[in-house]
Amino acid sequence: MALADIFTRPADSAATASPRAFGMRPLGTGLEGLTAWVDDIAALTQPDRIHWVDGSRAENDALLRQMVEDGTLIKLNPEWRPGSYLARSHPSDVARTEARTFIASEREEDAGPTNNWAAPDDIRSTITPLFAGSMKGRTMYVVPFSMGAVGGPLSHIGVQITDSPYAVASIEVMTRVGTDVLREIAGGAPWVKTVHSVGAPLEPGQKSDAWPCNDEKYIVHFPETLEVWSYGSGYGGNAILAKKCFALRIASVIGRDEGWLAEHMLLIRVIDPAGRRYHVAAAFPSACGKTNLAMLKPTIPGWRVETLGDDIAWLRPGEDGRLWAINPEAGFFGVAPGTGESTNQTAVETLWGNTIFTNVALRPDGDVWWEGLTDEAPAELTDWQGNPWTPAMGRPAAHPNSRFTVSAAQCPQIAADWDSPEGVPLDAILFGGRRATNVPLVVEATDWTHGVFLGSTISSERTAAAEGTVGELRRDPFAMLPFCGYNMADYFGHWLKIGQKLRFDRAPRVFQVNWFRKGSDGRFLWPGFGDNARVIDWIIRRIEGEVPGIDSAIGRLPRAEDLDIEGIAVTDADMAELFAIDPASWLREADLTEEFFQTFEGRVPAPLWAELAALRYRLQRA
């Protein structure tokens, strides 16, 4: 089949597709296989029209205009925010639906205890009737997309079918969409199948809601067949299936099978005053400063940071023994509240225009606002649900999970080669959580295995920790707890295997950082934000062998004199507390780690149990 044939197929081809039992028809290869799959989905969902998305500017402009006419988008004042729009979702559809997210592996043990498992045949029998006729009265969009530069050695391809124009517009920002992807498929490139419906079919003559969705929601991943099926939600990662669903859950499975890693990591280039360039990937759970580090503005004179990615990185061992990384995404899908001039000036500057905002507040002048954008709220706003709002009301004007979707190319400190197909070689990997106690500002792993142990034990403290005790820990290993597409204990083992493919002198060094340690008086001991560059300065000097690391029971720590704190309000007492290690408290934490490892019923790799035993031994002797 020629590529042009796809765009000349009749719009009513869905009506003539064979209505056989879905999933039973063997698919071919190349474009024939793709069109056969599209026909099957169309026969199941019964859309009025099929539109193959070509990724052109004219097509996107028409899509945005139509959504404004339909009430899905509000066009913002072009004087303040050119080319930008505001969407308001249904109040029931505002975040990832993790409780309704499933891994449908053939064996339950392959999903593991941290995932919701569903038997593939059972879940197909549940969701297939939901998708039957779900697109009636709507257009079915076929969106071919590439994660990573099209045709790149680290890139992978997917196709999303959706009845949501909002999802189409978002995918066009977050990925590379268009006919170049179809050419890759025509040439035999494998592709991941993703299907999405808002679950709101229309009767003849019925007008769609501005934000269609369904109270019943499912997001189902089939790791053996590399499929994602999402039903009922139009919001965020529930609808932009290229993001968490493909780029992490499914890609983690592909990476396991092919020998690479799909990670919930930012990616930056750090340039020191001498012009030396270093590449750093970092995995932080939500609310731990990830986006701020991705767009860091160092407070140390002469240092610069270039952004390569803010959320996802794919890491692949190279023939040179190094670990190479790409950002597979093309845009930022960030949380708006808390993003402001004082916390992340770069992000604010990125949002100057050409941005889709979702569930933020609307100013009277046609611009947007959210908590944290400015120190003071405007006198009056329209809140995220379209209601009048004033500061006196005492409730947020923007939803706490309100978002912005914007091209990465607009970031003022984006690296010139951020989209390079080959990626960049990593010099350091950082893991971090929000810990008020116990965890020092920075600790270096003694080797790769110890680094994997640090990543496997990443956690944040709940509010009980504010009183200064270890408290209940919210585990998020590698910041991947909601996103690993298979048994997380096997994932730990995969990290160990990746280390065996790297040259010991070229593998990235691994560190754990914690910007959030508090003193006995409850205040943060470290200023954070741009001053986090001072920690990265020490990390780079460790990589270069310019400063020693001091051995401790938990890893290597800086000497006080080697951490540059000139010009910031961190006292000697603060420094001592930032690096204080209480063996008794750490032994209690080791017990919690043992309890966590035991939940995997014997699948945690032996080297990590050995690391835990060695940690206890060192603590007992401290």
| C-alpha dist (Å) from residue 350 to 86, 207, 310, 411, 430 | 16, 36, 13, 5, 25
For residue 531, give the DSSP letter: G
The bridge status of strand 277-283 relative to strand 428-432 is parallel
| C-alpha dist (Å) from residue 567 to 270, 314, 571 | 21, 37, 11
Amino acid at 252: S
- CB burial string 534-553: b at 16+ within 10 A, e below: bbbbbbbbbbeeebebeebb
Q: Looking at 213, 245, 288, 484, which residue is catalytic?
A: 288
| C-alpha dist (Å) from residue 17 to 12, 44, 45, 170, 204 | 9, 9, 11, 29, 21
Contact present, 250 and 191 (Cβ < 8 Å): no
Q: Does 288 participate in catalysis according to the annotation?
A: yes
Please give the Cα distance from 351 to 363 (Å, whole number): 16
- Joined together, the tokens standing for residue 1 give 């089949």
For residue 305, give the nearest of 512, 515, 539 by alpha carbon: 539
Helix (H) or strand (E) holding 621: helix 606-621
Distance, CA of 124 to chain centre: 27
| C-beta atoms surrounding 180 within 10 Å | 15
- Joined together, the tokens standing for residue 457 give 């034990």
| C-alpha dist (Å) from residue 566 to 523, 529, 534 | 20, 16, 10
Please give the Cα distance from 33 to 44 (Å, whole number): 17
| C-beta atoms surrounding 99 within 10 Å | 8
Amino acid at 123: I
- Joined together, the tokens standing for residue 154 give 């680290």
Amino acid at 607: P
> Which of the residues are catalytic?
288
